[in-house]
Structure 1
Amino acid sequence: MKRFLAGIGLTFAALTATAALADNPQFQGADPHAVYIGNELWVFPTGGPGGSWAADRFGAFSSTDRKHWKSRGELIRRDSIKWIGDDGAREHFLWAPGVATRGRKWYLYYSVGPQNPTPSRIGVAVASRPEGPYIDSGRPLLTGGNGFEAIDPMTFVDRKSGKAYMYAGGSAGSTLRVFELTPDMVGIAREVKVAQPPKFTEGAFMHESNGIYYLSYSHGRFNGPDYSVHYAMGRSPLGPWRYRGEILSSDQRHKGPGHHSFVRDPKTGAWLIVYHRWENPVGGAPYQGERQVAIDRIRYAKDGTIVPVRMTD
């Protein structure tokens, strides 16, 4: 779970994949969901620039050059979510937001903790603009329990079928569950049973490129050196998926890269991976301090596989 803290021999393709896009890291934060709105890159993270994270709210940040970031203000605050105290827990935390848009509306999906002694939950809120304000739907979209942690929601609207799917779960149960959402995006129509992908821990993300659907996700402990990004490929957003290996892993300076999103630059057509990592942490795991958001280039080989990424500064 995301705790509330959280070239010799290289081919030409690999060299291209490591080309720096801007000065990394971008800003302090974690669990970044990136979306292009026009020619502007928006990031919806846990936390944000300048240590602005509080566990009781979400913000958004945007940039036209991936160097200078503008705060888009608060999206939603914990005290506006009326059902949040219904579980009787003494304190609650918000983390791991994800956004989707449909029919001129924006939808914010988010994790609500703690996990113990009460189960985690996923909420959804609606706005007419990406920066909000978002109004909560009035009830939890999904509640965990029986070994399943309802965390890390990611919603994908399939262009081919028009259906919207939410991917959620992970950490202690390491269980991925997929749900088809109702047309209004604030309810669950049905659960779709899927096979558990190898090395899945949490932070699932779905994207499609050239007719291939890529299920990517984080593996390992969020504050340790084994935290990494893996992926599988399929011809449907529901699988079956073929595991294809690791995209991001720790190197000498950067540790625990993960909880990422993919986004395509509308100007260049290049695919980017936006993720968090620990910058040269002092001491061993569990790492302490704050995670940083970084952006690197993604390259696809001729067979559609993703070239492993070398993190840049």
Structure 2
Amino acid sequence: MKRFLIAAGLALAALTTTTTAVRADNPQFQGADPHAVYIGNELWVFPTGGPGGSWEADRFGAFSSTDRKHWQSRGELIRRDSIKWIADDGAKEHFLWAPAVATKGGKWYLYYSVGPQNPTPSRIGVAVAARPEGPYVDSGKPLLTGELVKDGRGFEAIDPMTYVDAPSGKAYMYAGGSAGAKLRVFQLTPDMVTIDREIAVATPPQFTEGAFMHERRGTYYLSYSHGHWNGPDYSVHYATASSPLGPWRYRGAILTSDSKRKGPGHHSFARDPKTGQWLIVYHRWENPQGSMPFKGERQVAVDRVRYAADGRILPIRMTD
């Protein structure tokens, strides 16, 4: 998915330093593909784009908040020009998008997509840091390389999400989608920067891209985006299982366009440690012009998640 062809960076000038905070309601700030995680009592968001806005998608930044109203830039995590293998495919241009973080053994791991997907296959990289804000040092090689997709066949190596399963201690990376719309799952070695083996899983119904895994009360929730990233059909669906590897039971759509806000997706779930409230952090288009492709910039929003007594996720209402 060519997320990187629009201005995906966080363009709020007030967020260009690590000392300035701004007050925000929904949408929180400009950006896309937000991976959210609580670190202590602070919600961190790792989006596509760099601190203060990166129109070429050539770096990653992070932002944090204690109240989901005042956001602080955490600076630059990693730059494209520090990834030495990035030009090995011979493509003239490269873009970074869809970051995701995981932590294990006191270290932080940043997984990210490297495009373009044509004329060369997309790739997934991983970098390591001692702190969530970095600086991150690339592992020195691609973690996963995709296949060229033709006539809907093939695999696009994009949108990595690594989940560390607490009961087993095993780390699984979920990846893929868009052209080919195929989900693949890989178990990582203990160092978190190497694939141990691929685990065969079924691609769930309505899967397009942006997989995310979270667990609640023994149920594993695999959620993902469906539709066109720049159109009103972009939405979030989910399936459940008794393990992080399925088999999946498709449960339907939970986040869809309304009359004002269009194309919500590429999301993440996070649980507020103070209140126990689950949140969904996602991007959307505010009053976009036309039907598809939308023009303008996507915005990061945060909304509450409600569960039914039987564990189902109730439809999520987007708010301002």
TM-score > 0.5 by shorter chain: yes
Matching residue of 2:87: 85
Identity across the alignment (%): 83
* Cα pair distance change 1:53/1:209, threshold 3 Å: farther
Matching residue of 1:213: 220
* Cα pair distance change 1:52/1:116, threshold 3 Å: closer
TM-score, length basis structure 2: 0.91
Matching residue of 2:122: 120
TM-score, length basis structure 1: 0.93
Q: Residue 84 of structure 1: SS of its match in structure 2?
A: helix
After superposing on structure 2, the runs of 4+ consecutive aligned residues of structure 1 that deviate more than 2 Å are 47-54
- Aligned residue-pair number: 298
Q: What code does the residue aligned with 1:256 have?
A: G
- 1:117-162 deviation line (CA, Å, top 9, x unaligned): 0000000000000000000000000000051000000000000111
Structure 1: runs of 5+ lacking an equivalent: 7-21
Q: What code does the residue aligned with 1:277 have?
A: R
Q: CA–CA distance in 1 between the matches of 2:188 and 2:54?
A: 32
Residue pairs, 1:251-262, within 5 angstroms: 251-262=258-269
Deviation at 1:284, TM superposition (A): 2.1
User: Larger deviation: 280-289 or 136-145?
Assistant: 280-289
Say yes or no: does 1:55 pair with 2:62.
no
- 1:268-291 deviation line (CA, Å, top 9, x unaligned): 000000000000112221001110
Say yes or no: does 1:306 pair with 2:313.
yes
Deviation at 1:3, TM superposition (A): 2.0
Q: CA–CA distance in 2 between the matches of 1:131 and 1:50?
A: 15
Q: CA–CA distance in 1 between the matches of 2:62 and 2:207?
A: 27
Instruction: Give yes or no for contact 1:297–1:309 (8 Å, CA) kept in 2.
Output: yes
Q: Residue 161 of structure 1: SS of its match in structure 2?
A: coil
Deviation at 1:53, TM superposition (A): 4.8
Instruction: Give yes or no for contact 1:214–1:232 (8 Å, CA) kept in 2.
Output: yes
Q: CA–CA distance in 2 between the matches of 1:148 and 1:137?
A: 23
- 1:63-113 deviation line (CA, Å, top 9, x unaligned): 111111111000000000000000000010000000000001000000000
Q: CA–CA distance in 1 between the matches of 2:66 and 2:302?
A: 14
- 1:221-257 deviation line (CA, Å, top 9, x unaligned): 0000000000000000000010000010000000000
Residue of 215, 219, 232 corresponding to 1:225? 232
* Cα pair distance change 1:77/1:48, threshold 3 Å: closer
Say yes or no: does 1:3 pair with 2:10.
no
Q: What code does the residue aligned with 1:248 have?
A: L
Q: CA–CA distance in 1 between the matches of 2:56 and 2:131?
A: 22
Q: CA–CA distance in 2 between the matches of 1:100 and 1:54?
A: 25
Residue pairs, 1:100-111, within 5 angstroms: 100-111=102-113
Q: Residue 81 of structure 2: SS of its match in structure 1?
A: helix
Q: What code does the residue aligned with 2:293 have?
A: P
Matching residue of 2:46: 44
Deviation at 1:293, TM superposition (A): 0.2
Q: What code does the residue aligned with 2:176 have?
A: G
Q: Residue 303 of structure 1: SS of its match in structure 2?
A: coil
Residue pairs, 1:138-287, within 5 angstroms: 138-146=140-148, 147-287=154-294
Residue of 76, 79, 95 corresponding to 2:78? 76
Deviation at 1:2, TM superposition (A): 4.3
Q: CA–CA distance in 1 between the matches of 2:67 and 2:290?
A: 34
Query: RMSD over aligned Cα, in angstroms?
Result: 1.1
Q: CA–CA distance in 2 between the matches of 1:246 and 1:74?
A: 34
Q: CA–CA distance in 2 between the matches of 1:160 and 1:83?
A: 35
Matching residue of 1:13: none
Q: Residue 85 of structure 2: SS of its match in structure 1?
A: coil
Q: CA–CA distance in 2 between the matches of 1:52 and 1:78?
A: 11
Residue pairs, 1:24-43, within 5 angstroms: 24-43=26-45
* Cα pair distance change 1:51/1:75, threshold 3 Å: closer
Instruction: Give yes or no for contact 2:240–2:248 (8 Å, CA) kept in 1.
Output: yes
Say yes or no: does 1:292 pair with 2:294.
no
Deviation at 1:170, TM superposition (A): 0.1
